[in-house]
Amino acid sequence: MAFVALVPLWAALTGWHGRPNHLPGQTFSRGFFLGLLTGVVHYAGTVYWTGATVRTFGGLPWPVAIVTALLLVFYMALYTGLAAGLTGRLVRAYGWVGLPLGAAAWVSAEYLRGWLFGGFPWIPLGNSMVTLLPIAQLASAGGVYALSLFVALVNAGFATVIVSGPRRQRQALAITATLIATTALWGGLRLSANALVEGGTPVTVGLVQANIAQVDKWNGAKAGQIVERYLEMTRTAVAKGATFVLWPESATPFYFDEEPVGQTLVRNLVESTGVPLLFGTDEIERGARNQYYNSAFMLDSGGATAAVYRKMHLVPFGEYVPFKDLLFFVKPLVEAVSDFSPGRYVTMLPVNGHMASTAICYEVTYPSLIREGVRQGSELLTTITNDAWYGESSAPFQHFEMATMRAIEQGRYLVRAANTGITGIVDPYGRVLARTRLGETTVVVGEARFVQVRTLYATMGDRVAHAAIILTVLALAATLRRPWPSPSTI
């Protein structure tokens, strides 16, 4: 569906009314409206689960929860509107050439959504390719934004077929088919080479999915049961051969550095097994004003703290409330949400003589953050999360697939420990080697590898997105100095 999903919008932005090659385009305002409408429909069907989440855990009445979810939908749709408005203007100026230029405008808007106001890079267009592995390999060269550009160009090609005469239809079909075939062929060759899997140093990871209900995580009466479950499941993982164990985000039902008894239990477990452990816990930095962090602790094989990573990208309306003063009507949510502080830098995690990096929950959606870990020497990607907030909605599935994209981009194994699911192991080509179901209590033990070879994307970063922005700006600037063509000459 992704190959044709934008075709109706693209065709509408040409102003086409059934006459081949007659492309009057759209004004920016008209294009913006069409894109906004498209975005609202799309995101309402994609991030609908935010309403139920803030209702259940934020204590908001249903009407306010729905309004809160719609605000997020509308915000995300603004970027679709921006891309569409620019595309309509480019078609007015350049005719059918405006459609492929519109693909650059789409990527530009998508990149801005992942950057402005701290960013919200949830489900970019390119992520639709994550299970189409020969195509998805393009991410290793240009990141998920290169895939977004690819998908947008394919849609532009098919839209051109609809709005053009026979000669240009044949040209557009040939170009689009060549683009798809070339990308798939290159990706297929990369998959068959399998170089990243055959190299590297193996490590047997144990991933604990304890399946603790969200309402129980901070229930003091159940803290002992929760800790015992993690300890027992860790012993099971080690008995199955795990040489590195991961627990999910906020696994401990206490502040690890603040609870001597619980801390001793965890450290003694690691020391007795001799297997390093990565786990999530909340952390307090005491001072004139206490600061709270969502952190990941790395314990070495002797049970000592080897490294601590503090989450840098916090979840809006989950770990902090943006624009508190403006959003006065969500006061119950403001009071319910913990006011966490963001971490300031990526931390390397030493594991058995190698370096790993981690991302906590939602921040695995940031390609640049994961890339920074690899730039600093990470040979294995890890991510720990608690998706219990989202129940059995589509959110945990979306989240897992975005994490999978990071493995392809960086050419690294990715191991993921989730509280209620989805826990899994992904190889450097995006192949899912192990994957749990939602809501099961289980331990996954499997092989990953420490990989040192870097992909082109790990080296170059988001150059594709930057080039798309530059191209869009230059194309728009040129329209200011050229006369508008009449519709009959387009």
pLDDT tens, residue by residue, 372-408: 999 999 999 999 999 988 888 999 999 999 999 999 9
Q: Which pLDDT does position 25 carry in this prediction?
A: 80
Q: What's the rounded Cα separation, in Å, for the pair 338 and 345? A: 21
Among 177-181, 232-236, 256-260, the range scoring the smallest mean pLDDT is: 256-260
Instruction: Report the alpha-carbon distance of residue 118 to residue 130 in Å, rounded.
Output: 25
Q: Smallest Cα–Cα separation from 107: which of 137, 131, 74, 138?
A: 138
Q: Over 90: is that where the pLDDT of 288 sits?
A: no
From residue 426, alpha-carbon distances to 275, 382, 422, 429, 461 in Å are 22, 10, 12, 8, 21
Could you report the per-residue pLDDT of 8-61, keeping only the tens digit for each? 999 999 987 766 666 788 899 999 999 999 999 999 999 999 888 877 776 778
pLDDT of residue 489: 42
Catalytic site residue from 110, 283, 311, 319: 311
With the C-alpha atoms ordered 274, 276, 281, 285, is the resulting torsion angle positive or negative?
Answer: positive
Count of CA atoms in the C-beta half-sphere (13 A) of 455: 28
Set 110, 283, 319, 361: catalytic member: 361
Sign of the dihedral through C-alpha 110, 139, 309, 336: positive
pLDDT of residue 60: 75
Q: Structural domain boundaries of the chain?
A: 7-194+462-489, 201-451
Q: Which residue has the higher pLDDT, 353 or 330?
A: 353
Is residue 429 predicted with pLDDT exceeding 90? yes
pLDDT at 456: 97
Task: Cite the DSSP H helix spans in 327-394.
Answer: 331-336, 367-375
- Tell me which CATH code domain 201-451 carries: 3.60.110.10
Which alpha helices (H) appear in 199-257, and where do they start and end? 223-239
- 249 belongs to the catalytic site: yes
Give the bridge partners for 278, in sequence order: 246, 298
> What does the pLDDT read at residue 327?
60
- Whether residue 331 lies in the annotated active site: no
DSSP 431: -
Active site residue 240: no
Distance in angstroms (rounded) separating the CA atoms of residues 458 and 201: 20
Looking at residue 395, its pLDDT comes to 94
Residue 316 has pLDDT above 80, yes or no: no
pLDDT for residue 487 is more than 70: no
- Residues paired with 283 in a beta bridge: 293
Terminal Cα-to-Cα distance of the chain (whole angstroms): 30
